[in-house]
Amino acid sequence: MFASLAFTVEGLGLPLLATAVFGLLGIALLVLGFKVFEWATPKLDVEKKLQEGSVAVAITVAGLLVAIAIIVAAAIHG
- The pLDDT value given to residue 19: 86
Place 49 in a pLDDT band, splitting at 50, 70 and 90. very high
pLDDT value of residue 35: 93
pLDDT tens by residue, 4-29: 555 666 677 788 888 889 999 999 99
Angle of CA points 26, 30, 33, to nearest 5°: 135
Model pLDDT, residue 13? 77
pLDDT of residue 65: 93
- The pTM for the full model equals 0.72
Q: What are phi and psi of 56, to 5 degrees?
A: -60, -45
